[in-house]
Chain A
Amino acid sequence: MPTLALKASRLCKRYGNLAAVDDLSFQVMHGEIVGLLGPNGAGKTTTINMVLGVLQPSSGTVEIEDIDIARHRSQALAHTNFAAVYATLPGNLTVYQNLRFFGLLYNVAQLNARIEALLAEFDLERLRDTRSGVLSSGEQTRLALAKALLNAPRLLLLDEPTASLDPSAADLIRGRIRAMASHGQCGILWTSHNMYEVEETCHRVLFVSHGKILLEGDPKALPQEHGAASLEELFIRLAREPLANHRNAA
């Protein structure tokens, strides 16, 4: 029976009068890939930052495997990791040095063996002594994913992980992430603007706009249920609707 990897309850983040995230509640089970979709500024990254403990919610709670991150941050993050396009690894360290640095930060056991396995898995062996700042964007993405898997996370947060990959590399990465989830030990929260990718990869999606969840369900079934030809069409409609309503109200 799947167990709970992440539980966000009534999350709010306000900056003055602006609600970046407004009463957001959702769960991610182990073995599940959940897509967090929404237009730019919808509150996706704010939500991820709150789950990672680098942003304190105005109200609400985040529990990772039943551990409250506000009260036991280190314990909750021990089996969590992430990769995000806006959080590149230090460019002045080599691929190997980056993995060693973060492996120690995450207190990974048998670190050398783990690094070697990840270098092989992400085809980074020939780049091990290359400074990560001079890697191509695709290589940097592979390194970020290798770092994200260092501690064999049971909750993995991926913020547009394939944004800078070519279709072939993106397909390989999606395959690896699906395989990780299929083992049933890792829950994955994934943001992407590539609806084809979301439909192919995610078991469930949450549509977020203006900090609220507007819709939730199976990405393959949702378009039909809401009279849209595709997930992309549904995305566009949902992304524009609240804005139009907002303007009418004004």
Chain B
Amino acid sequence: MRLRPIAAIVLRQLYLMRSSPVRVLPMIAWVAVDIVLWGFIARYLNSVTATGMNFVASLLGAVLFWDFFTRVMQGVTMAFFEDVWSRNFINVFASPMLISEYLSGLVLTGVTTSLIGLIVMLIIASAIFGLHFAALGLLLVPFLLVLFLFGIALGVLASAMVLRLGPASEWLVWPIPALLSPFVGVFYPLATLPSWMRGVGHLLPPSYVFEAMRSFVAGGGYSNRALVMGVALAALYVLLAAWLFTGVYRYAVRSGLLARYSAESVS
């Protein structure tokens, strides 16, 4: 893999962000609104319940992590959608760039744009609601790693889906995080779920993050083994998503889908 083609994909996104503040605003605005909204809900719950549970840490922390994961996924897909929207596939894929370089560029773009959202969320959560993530210590590393990797995997998977099914399938991409959220126990322990949903939850890496975070905030222990399992599952999904994207790309080249994609996106 060479660095310059990867840099091209990232640079293109930076050019677009620089020329249009409208692209930057959603990265900041939605996460800010989410943190403010859930921050006040958590404060209110703290004031009306006598359980001694710190909702700011558990609820707001969960929202922050979930928003971060969503932003990583959307960062990857948005970079891919730029080529869909500008009907640029022939120009890009007729270049000597490797598919691995293209995917690396999408991932790096997703990571860069999601970090902007993460920083905004951390500032608001700590400045307004006194949520200090430093208290999580080294746990932050596996937490962020799992969410990064799974966000990347879903972003690449969603891109493969749009490449295979056509531009109209873009609308199937946006609800994916919402569809997953009941299974990963963002706001409640997996034990709350019926057994079949719990089974699905155990296959989804973010479940391990939210379980460990709740346990840590409640002052209990957490399982290192479960976190390792979360990281391993997320890494496996990244490899599977990259394999799937490559397979879909090869199908698109073989069937003529890639060559016709520009024309079809007009209709």
Interface residues of A (CB under 8 A from B): 13, 15, 46, 49, 52-56, 73-78, 80, 82, 84, 86-94, 97, 100-102, 104-107, 131, 147
Contact = CB atoms under 8 A, between A and B. Distances in A.
Nearest to A76: B96
B7 A52 contact: no
A15 B90 CA distance: 20
Interface residues of B, number: 33
Contact of B86 (A80, A84, A92): A92
Given A90-B82, A91-B86, A104-B8, A54 B93 contact: yes
Contact of B11 (A46, A56, A86, A100): A100
Given A15-B256, A74-B98, A92-B19, A86 B263 contact: yes
A77 B258 contact: no
15 contacts: A55-B253, A55-B259, A86-B90, A86-B263, A90-B88, A92-B86, A94-B19, A97-B15, A101-B8, A102-B8, A104-B5, A105-B8, A105-B97, A106-B95, A107-B2
A54 B253 contact: yes
Contacts, number: 93
Nearest to B83: A90
Interface string B11-22: 110011001100
Interface in B151-182: none
Contacts of A52: 90, 94
A56 B95 contact: no
Contact of A106 (B12, B96, B256, B258): B96
Given A92-B16, A101-B11, A55 B94 contact: no
Contact of A74 (B15, B19, B20, B96): B96
Given A93-B16, A107-B4, A82 B94 contact: yes
B90 A84 contact: yes
B95 A77 contact: yes
A173 B157 CA distance: 43
A78 B96 contact: yes
Nearest 5 pairs between A and B by C-beta? A104-B8, A90-B86, A52-B94, A77-B96, A105-B95
